[in-house]
Structure 1
Amino acid sequence: MNLLGWIKYLELVTAIAGIIFYRKYSNSNLKYFVYMLWFIVLVEFAIGTLKQYTEARLQNNYIYNVLTSLQYAYYFFLYYSIITIPRYRQWVLTFLVMFVVAVVVNFLWIQKLSVTAAFASYTFTLGAILLMMTIALFLVEILNTEKILYFKNYLMFWISIGLFVFYTGIIPFVLSINLLPDFLSNDALAIMFFTLNLVMYSCFTLGFIISRPQVEGLKQ
């Protein structure tokens, strides 16, 4: 198994941690975050099984294009439900609409969605940029609340740090798909991609373990 093949096990460990500490968030919007993690795990292991026992490799990009688009949409909804400042919420809603429109346009006319399609790098990059802006709005908001005093026990803080580090680091990787295709065979890229996933899922797992539900103040 190559290094990238281990990423699905990072996802599995995090999903298991989410289930172990699920009772902390079973009455909040973050319960859907746990559901999303398990959905990703099921998809990843299903793809791994297909690659091992069939020749269905051409379907990978198709699945990932749909999966990553759904992930972005979920993240925008999540932050929209967490952020309380009306102006910031309006920005997040605008980001969501922009992203959905971009996905539709990209899938229909630019990087067309099909079983043999290439990775949808354009909408992935746009989603990453908009998500980082959304996370920045969230962090600015908590700087002005009591939650900043207990940030270590705030699950959304750890989710945000993990996502911000991953998507900040992944943008050069995605751009290289179009700009430096020959560079993709470099083992350094596999190491970087694995490391970014390791950092992100470690943040999620740590958040599940040390966070306290009374700090969340989430909308039900």
Structure 2
Amino acid sequence: MMESFQKLLGETLIWVQFLAAIIALIYLPKLKNTYWKWFVAYIVLIFLIEAFSRWGLKNHASYRVYWYDFFGIPVQFLFFYWLYAVKSLKNNQLFWVCTVVYILSFLPYFGLFEKVNIVYSLSYTVGNVLLMLLVLLELFKQIKSENILQFKENFMFYVNVGIMIFYIGTLPFFSFYGLILKDAVLWNDYFIFFMVANHVMYLLFTAAFIWGKPNTY
């Protein structure tokens, strides 16, 4: 039962991402004069990254870890650092600090540690903690905004909630992956949460295009 549900979530995720990409492209004309057009590009790029991993690397599964470690995941963190720090919080210095610290977290890949899973946990944890900081700063900004009651029209509201659910919610799963892997029940439960949170995040991104207004942020 649980394995079937996990398989179902694995099969549907790529199509939820595809839906988000299609909706993003449909709403691109409304966003072409705002920086949210780059969010459209991001959504489409993420779908292509996932599609290439799923089908392009189908017969080379061992390469997927490098595809995500050195491209797929860094693209996500660096884009959100830019979106939060530069565009929403108007703090270029914060963006560069987050970027440099995140890049430095990859140094263990070059020989400081031998176990790849330790290195993976380090870079992902550092990247996620930095993103968590930006999410909290954004949350405080939204709470103090005079337009807080119009959150339904706020693009960044949907993005922020999606990020909190997925990236922050799954931080322990990747940070302590080696330990969680030793407990089959815990791993299965957390993996389902990881997949559900991923679905919810992209549905919230889709909702941002449908209900959000680009002039709200």
TM range (shorter): 0.7 to 0.9
The count of corresponding residues between Structure 1 and Structure 2 is 208
Pair 1:39 & 2:45 matched: yes
* Displacement after TM superposition at 1:59 (Å): 0.3
* Displacement after TM superposition at 1:134 (Å): 0.4
Q: C-alpha distance in 2, partners of 1:212/1:83?
A: 15
Pair 1:99 & 2:99 matched: no
Amino acid at match of 1:59: Y
Q: 1:188 to 1:211 in 2, by over 3 A?
A: same
Which residue is 1:176 aligned to?
Answer: 176
| 3-state SS of paired residue (1:43) | helix
After the TM superposition, which residues 11-160 of structure 1 pair with which residues of structure 2 at under 5 Å, given as runs?
A: 11-52=17-58, 54=59, 56-66=60-70, 67-84=72-89, 90-103=93-106, 105-110=107-112, 118=117, 120-160=120-160
* Displacement after TM superposition at 1:143 (Å): 2.7
Amino acid at match of 1:18: A
Consecutive unaligned residues in structure 1, runs of 5 or more: none
Q: 1:85 to 1:22 in 2, by over 3 A?
A: closer
Q: Name whichever of 127-136 and 138-147 sits farther off.
A: 138-147
Q: 1:62 to 1:133 in 2, by over 3 A?
A: same
Q: 1:125 to 1:84 in 2, by over 3 A?
A: closer
**For the Cα contact (< 8 Å) 2:34–2:214, is it kept in 1?**
no
Which contiguous aligned blocks of 4+ residues in structure 1 show a shift greater than 4 angstroms? none
Q: 1:69 to 1:84 in 2, by over 3 A?
A: closer
Amino acid at match of 1:8: I
Q: Deviations over 1:101-150 (max 9, x none)?
A: 223x13323468xxxx6572211111111101101111212333333232
**For the Cα contact (< 8 Å) 1:51–1:57, is it kept in 2?**
yes
TM-score, scaled to structure 2: 0.84
Q: C-alpha distance in 1, partners of 2:43/2:108?
A: 26
Q: C-alpha distance in 1, partners of 2:83/2:43?
A: 14
Consecutive unaligned residues in structure 2, runs of 5 or more: none
Which residue is 2:164 aligned to?
Answer: 164
**For the Cα contact (< 8 Å) 1:4–1:190, is it kept in 2?**
no
* Displacement after TM superposition at 1:51 (Å): 4.9
Q: Deviations over 1:137-193 (max 9, x none)?
A: 112123333332322101111111101111121112113322232336843233111
* Displacement after TM superposition at 1:50 (Å): 3.6
